[in-house]
Chain A
Amino acid sequence: MNLISIFIAAAFVNNFVFYRFLGICPFLGISKKLKSALSMGLAVTFVMVISAIATFLIQTYFLERYGLPFLKYVSFILVIASLVQLIEMYMKKQHPNMYKIFGIYLPLITTNCAILGLALLNSLLGYSIIQTFVFAIGAGFGFTLALTIMAGIRERLEYSNVPEPLRGIPISLIVAGLLALAFGGFSGIM
């Protein structure tokens, strides 16, 4: 039960985009086409799960054991950056088909605050390794969901007559605001 509520909280109630404001840059940048939004969401979910586990291990077996909390940010970001690089190299060589689908988004993910935010939230909330895993999947699912909904709306928005100063980013932000309001409705289910 506890794991299910962690998943639902991460995916819907405390959605990473609409509640925690994490990963806004790709949310605004890559949500123009439905297909690329889905690929980006999958890539982010994939990296989220792996980096959440990796940073959990670093936090528990290195930083806490040797009393080095001040190295947290430096080590987390280094681990995430090198992991992304490693995944990219591995996929290019071993899974060229998968690389074609979401490989091009991987370099962008290093500076995606959703990844580092997830690692920091994990250590803040004091989750165990299984909870960390479920939290990462839930967060990735929520991020993909947000990106996909937004892309669907923006594809329609292309054909509508938006007042000139609002075109582009401003109208996207307003749409995101309305979506955030809708997602706020999920807070009742917890």
Chain B
Amino acid sequence: MTLKDFLNGFWRQNPIFRLILGMCPTLAVTNMAINGLVMGLATLFVLLGSSIIVSSIRKLVPSKIRIPVFIVIIATFVTIADYVLAAFVPAIHKVLGIYVPLIVVNCIILGRMEAFAKNNPISNSILDALGMGIGFTWGLILLGSTREIIGFGTLFGFTIFGSWYPQLLIMKLPTGAFITLGLLIALMNVIRKRKSTLA
């Protein structure tokens, strides 16, 4: 039961490829794999922190005012994440820019509070948050790696192709983000269909 909560976000309900949630940071910060990784971890931290708090006060909050309460809790964790990133990885924090504070309005987080944390005990909520957060992070890394390899010829800053490689500018532009994500989602659809016909 609890293992199912954890594995849910990996594939069956992957936030990026299945639920199509959190598209703004997904498209905006994935020109390099490292940016995707940092963004994914920041989102994971906020998701985990707010899940724990929301689930522990779930019996105290009147249901009429729950959304504003959830939003304040989320915004608090986002502020913490923002200051931590600014202190420890200032260069990446600068690249991510306004997309770090925009985690506040990332639909995945409020969505998980509504759909899971407000009705479930703390331990299940932690597993759900970890699963969803890791699912989101691997999606960002996959998109970021694809764009970085094709666009820059590197992966996490390490050279994959030599200097002969003509870097494809289009992958660094917004167009590259939209088209790569579209093709990756289509690829996931194909894989899912193969799996269901085999089973």
Interface residues of A (CB under 8 A from B): 18-25, 28, 70, 72-74, 77-78, 81-82, 110-113, 116-117, 120-121, 124, 164-166, 169-174, 176-178, 180-181, 184
Contact = CB atoms under 8 A, between A and B. Distances in A.
B183 A180 contact: no
B79 A177 contact: no
Most chain A beta-carbon contacts within 10 A, residue among B21, B75, B176: B75
A177 B98 contact: no
B101 interface: yes
A180 B107 contact: no
B186 A170 contact: yes
B175 A178 contact: yes
Nearest to B77: A73
Contacts of B28: 20-21
29 contacts: A21-B23, A21-B177, A24-B27, A25-B107, A73-B101, A77-B71, A77-B105, A78-B68, A78-B75, A82-B68, A113-B105, A116-B102, A120-B101, A121-B98, A165-B190, A166-B182, A169-B182, A170-B185, A172-B182, A173-B179, A173-B181, A173-B182, A174-B178, A177-B174, A177-B175, A177-B178, A177-B179, A178-B175, A180-B173
Nearest to B179: A177
A184 B98 contact: no
Nearest to B173: A184
Contacts of B105: 77, 110-113, 116
A107 B33 CA distance: 34
A173 B176 CA distance: 10
A173 B178 contact: yes
Given A70-B83, A120-B102, A124-B98, A170 B24 contact: no
Given A73-B104, A120-B98, A177-B179, 19 more contacts: A18-B174, A24-B23, A25-B23, A72-B79, A73-B78, A74-B76, A74-B79, A78-B71, A113-B106, A116-B104, A124-B98, A166-B186, A169-B20, A173-B181, A173-B182, A174-B183, A180-B174, A181-B170, A184-B174
A111 B110 contact: yes
A180 B175 contact: yes
A181 B173 contact: yes
Interface bracket on B? 35 or more
B189 interface: yes
B57 interface: no
B82 interface: yes
Interface string B160-186: 000000000010011111110111011
Nearest to A163: B186
Nearest to B109: A111
B72 interface: yes
B102 A117 contact: yes
A165 B189 contact: yes
Contact of B182 (A18, A22, A70, A177): A177
A96 B130 CA distance: 44
B4 interface: no
A176 B23 CA distance: 13
A157 B102 CA distance: 32
Going nearest first, the 4 A-B pairs with the smallest beta carbon separation are A177-B178, A173-B182, A177-B179, A24-B23
A173 B24 contact: no
B182 A174 contact: yes
